Amino acid sequence: GALVYQYPRRTICKSGTSMRMECQAVGFQATSVAWYRQSPQKTFELIALSTVNSAIKYEQNFTQEKFPISHPNLSFSSMTVLNAYLEDRGLYLCGARDHGANSDYTFGSGTRLLVI
């Protein structure tokens, strides 16, 4: 079956430092990868949508300068939170989809980021 693994599961970083998180698709081709942040008390906010070998589209309030994303092949994507501060804490989720017809998104368990 289609699975998405995210690592690390949990991480702590000091304020002002950066943290890289990874997303691995197994059993299908991750043509598209969507990265989300779930802040405390909030729903899942889309950060950016990436299509392999194509431009990465960032949502309003999120920038490549702050959340650079790499999507080099059909099984892997990574995102870095640069210069993390308290407001960046939360659960970061990635979902991947194969561009086959009627294909749904499969989500990982997320990377929980704590900033101290």
Partner 1 sequence: GDQVEQSPSALSLHEGTGSALRCNFTTTMRAVQWFRKNSRGSLINLFYLASGTKENGRLKSAFDSKERYSTLHIRDAQLEDSGTYFCAALVTSGGNYKPTFGKGTSLVVHP
Footprint of partner 1 on this chain (CB under 8 A)? 32, 34, 36, 43-44, 46, 49, 51, 57, 91, 93, 95, 97, 99, 102, 104-110, 112
CA distance 25 to 20: 17
Q: Which is nearer to partner 1, 65 or 104 (CB)?
A: 104
| Residue 18 · residue 112 · CB < 8 Å | no
Nearer to partner 1, 44 or 82 (CB): 44
Least Å distance between CB 16 and partner 1?
27
Q: Which of 26, 31, 33, 21 is nearest to 110 (CA)?
A: 21
Q: How far is the CB of 62 from partner 1 (least distance, A)?
A: 13
